[in-house]
Amino acid sequence: MGAADPAGAAHDYAAVLRNAVVRFGNFTALQDISLELEQGAFWTILGPSGCGKSTMLRLVSDLVPAASGEVSVLGKSTEEARLAREFAFVFQDATLLPWRTALKNVELPLEIGRRRNIKIPVSDRSPRELLALVGLQDREDALPRELSGGMRQRVAIARALVCQPKLLLMDEPFGALDEMTRDHLNLQLLQIWAETGVTILFVTHSIPEAVFLGQKVLMLGANPGRLREIVDIDIPSPRAIKVRDTQEFTKYTAYLRRLLEAD
């Protein structure tokens, strides 16, 4: 991992980090991160709290700058990628605007920048179709307070897809939900991934969730935040919930748990 490819190959990757470092004052949040995220992949990020999981997503999405090293998204700088709406972000909190209906919330990204003649990429699917994709076709006119936590998060996912991003960054999106809802949304997310072909980088603090969703699990360590190991999850897609009861699955979760405890 991290070996520099010859120039020109950068486009096959949704994101490339080379020796990226993030500092907040004297605190090193991320040290020397190198990775190449292939287009169409679904990677999960796991690690103890304070290891810089969220910071890594914020580095890729141009919310925090790299102190040194290089970060590129689809061959562009993170800023260019942000202006071109190449990526979208789903937060732990759904961050819906409470005065807008579900449909109006999904349409928000299309309104931002329209007056400034910024070219906004638009998904092949209309906002209505995206709400249907997340199973909320009959709740278009509902206000966020009328929706359950899981439904709000699904609206946020539909909103993230409205500009047809190539990379979807998700920061513990299901962390605040109960387990049944989380299972349901995990399955739905895998289905959306299969249908849209979007690349997903997904932060979680749940080991089973990381194994269930990810083709690879990035294990981060704390103090300073660093990449410890990339674990390939060789469970074929499409995955069903009962995958979790297999020995293979528990083998991965046990291994990752040992890694976490050894840090």
Partner 1 sequence: MSGANDRDPPTPKASAGSKKFQRWFSPTFLMVSVRGRHGAIVVPQRDAFRLPRQTGVADPALRRLLGHAIPVGTAIGIFLIWEAGVRVFQVPTYIAPAPSDVGRTLVEQWPLLMRNFWPTFYESIMGFLFGNMAAILIAVAFVHSRTVERAFFPIAVFINTIPILAIAPILVLIFGAGLTAKVVIAALICFFPTLVNMVRGLQAVSPETLELARILSASRSEVFWKIRLPSSLPFLFSALKIAATTCVIGAIVGEWVGANSGLGALIIDSTFNFRSSLLYATVFLSSGLSVMLFALVTIAEKLVVRW
Residues near partner 1 (CB under 8 A) are 58, 61-63, 82-83, 85, 87-89, 91-93, 95, 97-99, 108-109, 111-113, 115-116, 118, 132-139, 142-148, 150-151, 178, 180-181, 184, 188, 191
CB of 116 to partner 1, least distance (A): 6
Sheet harboring 27-38: ordered strands across?
27-38, 13-24, 68-73, 76-77
Half-sphere exposure of 9 (CA within 13 A, CB side): 9
Looking only at the bridges linking them, the beta strands covering 76-77 and 68-73 are antiparallel
Exposure on the CB side of residue 256, measured as CA atoms within 13 A: 30
Q: Ramachandran region of residue 32, left (φ > 0), alpha (ψ -120 to 50) or beta?
A: left
Q: Which is nearer to partner 1, 12 or 140 (CB)?
A: 140
Q: Which residues contact residue 76 at a Cβ distance below 8 angstroms, ignoring those fewer than 6 apart?
A: 84, 86
Task: Report the DSSP pairing between strands 199-203 and 42-46.
Answer: parallel
DSSP-derived pairing of the beta strands 216-221 and 42-46: parallel
In the bound state with partner 1, the residue whose beta carbon lies nearer, of 179 and 248, is: 179
Q: How far is the CB of 156 from partner 1 (least distance, A)?
A: 9
- Reduced to 3 states (helix: H, G, I; strand: E, B; else coil), residue 84 is coil
Cβ nearer to partner 1, comparing 116 with 242: 116
> Which C-beta is closer to partner 1: that of 143 or that of 235?
143
Report in angstroms how near the CB of residue 250 gets to partner 1 at its nearest: 26
The label of the residue with tokens 């709290």 reads 49
**Closest to partner 1 by CB, 14 or 227:** 14
152/216 with CB nearer partner 1:
152
CA distance 165 to 170: 13
Residue 135 vs 224, nearer CB to partner 1: 135
| Least gap, CB of 238 to partner 1 (angstroms) | 14
Please report how close the Cβ of residue 61 comes to partner 1 at its closest, in angstroms.
6
> What one-character DSSP code corresponds to residue 243?
G
Name the phi and psi angles at 232, rounded to 5. Answer: -75, 135
